[in-house]
Chains A and B, each alone.
Chain A
Amino acid sequence: MARTDAVLDALARRESVAFGVEAGDVAVRLLGALIADVDSHRLSSVSITPST
């Protein structure tokens, strides 16, 4: 459980976990891919205008 917490902490801090046992962990790899996708895709332009 402590190991899981450390791995999730590293993912949350956007640190690499591509080493050791976690390198072959499919769940960690998929979460890493989701993070990379969510983080790197450009934010769409959003304008906020008062409703009329």
Chain B
Amino acid sequence: MTTCAIVAGIMPNVTEGRVADAATGVRLATRSDESDLRELTSLAVQGDRTAIESLLGHLRPMVVRYCRARLGRVSGHYHIADDVAQEVCIAVLSALPRYRDMGRPFASFVFGIASHKVADALRSSVRSAVPTQDLPDGPDDGPGPEETVVRYIEAEHARALLSRLPDNQRELLILRVVSGLSAEETGNVLGMSPGAVRVAQHRALTRLRQMAELESIA
């Protein structure tokens, strides 16, 4: 069976939901006992389909958020970022049989792959194909046009300011706040102690604030 066939069989079906719907999953992933996740990872590495599905169900929303925050929208949509997130999940599944627990959490392995995939996507010049969105079958229960525009402008502003931060500060804030990792987990991904994360995140937020305030004055 090919990796793709395996992925197609077990990839959690969240394509019609909002990422926010999976917030519980994120909390489970970030707040659950680390040993439980380690055991889940161990079972997944051995090919346990239920464990793989559960592991991906935990990780995928965080990966989607990470890719969306890093890559932003193209023509108002997150298709590119979501495609990259899907590529990350496929790459994780492909690498899973070869994964060896070296003491670092599985999330650091996943976000290492995600970071490379995002860098590849940013380097790629092939970002022009924009698929059209399916027409909705029913009324959209999302925010209205005005709120959507305001949120979009502020989100783009945040993304622009984050892109001007040093790489390590930008990565830290996105993992910590957008992907929803704890200080401990962020430290595990970035190879920092929780204390160092707390110091660095304070500096990063201060710098972000200063840049925003300077822009508002100018």
Task: Tell whether A and B belong to one assembly.
Answer: yes
With a cutoff of 8 Å between Cβ atoms, the chain B residues found around residue A44 in the complex are 15, 77-79, 82-83, 131, 133
Q: Is B113 an interface residue (CB 8 A)?
A: no
Chain B CB count within 10 A is highest, among A25, A41, A45, A49, for A41
Give the interface SS of chain B, mostly helix, strand, loop or mixed: helix
Minimum CB–CB distance from A27 to chain B (whole Å) comes to 4
Q: Say whether A38 contacts B177, CB under 8 Å.
A: no
A46's partner among B15, B178, B198 (CB-CB below 8 A) is B15
Distance A28 CA – B182 CA, assembled complex (angstroms): 17
Chain A: CB-nearest residue to B73: A41
| 0 or 1 for each of B193-216: is its CB under 8 Å from A? (1 = yes) | 000001101100110110011001
A interface residues, Cβ below 8 angstroms from B? 1-2, 4-5, 7-9, 11-14, 25-31, 33-46, 48-51
Q: Say whether A26 contacts B17, CB under 8 Å.
A: no
Q: Is B180 an interface residue (CB 8 A)?
A: yes
Q: Say whether B79 contacts A35, CB under 8 Å.
A: no
Minimum CB–CB distance from B161 to chain A (whole Å) comes to 7
Minimum CB–CB distance from B30 to chain A (whole Å) comes to 7
Distance A22 CA – B162 CA, assembled complex (angstroms): 19
With a cutoff of 8 Å between Cβ atoms, the chain B residues found around residue A14 in the complex are 20, 23, 180
Q: Say whether B18 contacts A42, CB under 8 Å.
A: yes
Q: Say whether A26 contacts B205, CB under 8 Å.
A: no
User: Can you pick out 10 interface pairs between chain A and chain B where the beta carbons lie within 8 Å of each other?
Assistant: A5-B201, A8-B176, A27-B212, A30-B158, A35-B178, A42-B133, A43-B18, A44-B77, A44-B83, A48-B86
Distance A13 CA – B20 CA, assembled complex (angstroms): 11
With a cutoff of 8 Å between Cβ atoms, the chain B residues found around residue A43 in the complex are 14-19, 64, 78, 82
Distance A15 CA – B162 CA, assembled complex (angstroms): 21
Q: Say whether A8 contacts B177, CB under 8 Å.
A: yes
Q: Say whether B69 contacts A1, CB under 8 Å.
A: no
Chain B: CB-nearest residue to A10: B177
Q: Which of B1-9, B48-56, B99-107 faces chain A? A: B1-9
Q: Say whether B19 contacts A37, CB under 8 Å.
A: no
Q: Say whether B157 contacts A30, CB under 8 Å.
A: yes
Given contacts A1-B199, A37-B155, A46-B82, 18 further A-B contacts (CB under 8 A): A8-B205, A26-B212, A30-B212, A33-B158, A34-B162, A35-B178, A37-B152, A38-B65, A38-B69, A38-B155, A40-B151, A43-B16, A43-B17, A44-B77, A45-B16, A48-B7, A48-B8, A50-B5
